[in-house]
Amino acid sequence: MNIKLLPHADCFSLSPVPCQLSPERGFTLLELLLSITVLSLVLGVIYGTLNMGSRAWEKGERDIDKIQRMRVIMNLLSREIKSTFPYEVTPSELDTHKKFYAFDGKRDSLSFVSAVPLKGGRGKLSWLSFWVEDDEGLVVVERDALRTDIFKERDSIDKDEMVVLDAHVSRIQFEYYELKSGKEEGEGEGEWKEHWDAEKEGTLPHAVRMELTFKEEGTGEEDEEEFYRELIVPLMIHSEKIRVWS
């Protein structure tokens, strides 16, 4: 029996005669659309995963940089405050002030004599002033402690003397710890003051508490973030005599 092979187009007819499919038959339009749709979804998932991983990596890098920068600033302030030197200012004969320690503690600034100068130098005492300057960040001014103008008002300080330590610090606040009257050293009972007048107090505070606010600019759709850090620093001249409780 001879079997007649019909053309490819006749394979979909109702003819009882068997037919052979052509090996050159392609995809239909519907199959192509489905394939493209599935491929697009797969590529979209892959891209989203890679993009999410890249953003997480970049955020992690930024967070590490922020934490490291905060740590450097906090360590620097801690080191300098611990190194506060009990430098006595002796007024002249015509001056009505009495002898007092060179230490000026305000709520938003701190000035004192440090035995560890920022610019280095053995056996040198430096007068350091820390505060937050508008549009600048955390700044410091360092002078030789032997200069006569170390108590110069902050508003009259030459901008060229300021060194910006961190432009991301938007606020700094200090408090000063004093033992309560009648308490023995070592009991750890005292009070925190917002200001410290060394001439009035007659001594240096036993510890300094500082609170710093770091403001970080957001990227893309992220909002501006603020980070707070707090640290209590005992002065070395009192560190073996008192235990400070916050």
pLDDT of residue 58: 74
213 lies in some domain:
yes
pLDDT, residue 16, reads 55
Asked if residue 243 has pLDDT above 50, the reply is: no
On whether residue 144 sits in a domain, the answer given is yes
Concatenating the DSSP letter of every residue in the chain gives -PPPPPPGGGGGS--SS-----TT----HHHHHHHHHHHHHHHHHHHHHHHHHHHHHHHHHHHHHHHHHHHHHHHHHHHHHHTB--PEE---TT--PPPEESEEE-SSEEEEEESS-TT--TT--EEEEEEEETTTEEEEEEEETT-TTTT--GGGS-GGG-EEEETTEEEEEEEEEEEPTTPPTTS--EEEES-EEHHHHSS--SEEEEEEEEEE---TTPPPEEEEEEEEEE-TTTTTT-----
Does residue 64 lie in a domain region? Answer: no
The pLDDT value recorded for residue 198 is 85
Find where tokens 């005492």 sit.
125
Distance CA 32, CA 45 (A): 20
The confidence score (pLDDT) of residue 184 equals 53
Check residue 92 and give its pLDDT.
57
Residue scoring higher pLDDT (201 or 93) = 201
pLDDT tens readout for residues 6-51: 455 445 455 555 555 555 566 687 878 888 888 888 888 888 888 8
pLDDT of residue 37: 87
* pLDDT on residue 103: 92
In a domain, 21, yes or no: no
Task: Name the pLDDT band for 77 (thresholds 50, 70, 90).
Answer: very high
Sheet bearing 109-114, strands edge to edge:
163-166, 137-144, 126-133, 109-114, 103-105, 196-197
Residue 93 has pLDDT above 50, yes or no: no
Instruction: Report if residue 79 sits inside a domain.
Output: yes
- Per-residue pLDDT tens over the stretch 95-142: 555 677 889 999 999 999 999 888 876 678 899 999 999 889 999 999
Backbone angles phi, psi at 61, to 5 degrees: -65, -40
* Per-residue pLDDT band at 240 (split at 50, 70, 90): very low
How many folded domains does the chain comprise? Answer: 1
Mean pLDDT of 220-239: 78
Q: How does residue 245 score in pLDDT terms, banded at 50, 70 and 90?
A: very low
Using one digit for the tens of pLDDT, what is the confidence trace for 132-186? 998 899 999 998 887 766 766 666 676 778 899 999 999 999 999 987 765 555 5
- Which tops the pLDDT comparison, 76 or 27? 76
Full domain range(s) for residue 228: 71-234
Beta bridge partners of 169: 214
β-pair partners for 193: 176
> What's the average model confidence in pLDDT over 75-98?
78
Cβ atoms of residues 128 and 114 within 8 Å: yes
pLDDT for the residue numbered 45:
87
Residue 10 lies in a domain: no
Q: Which residues are bridge partners to 114 per DSSP? A: 84, 126
Residue 184 domain flag: yes
Q: Is residue 190 part of a domain?
A: yes
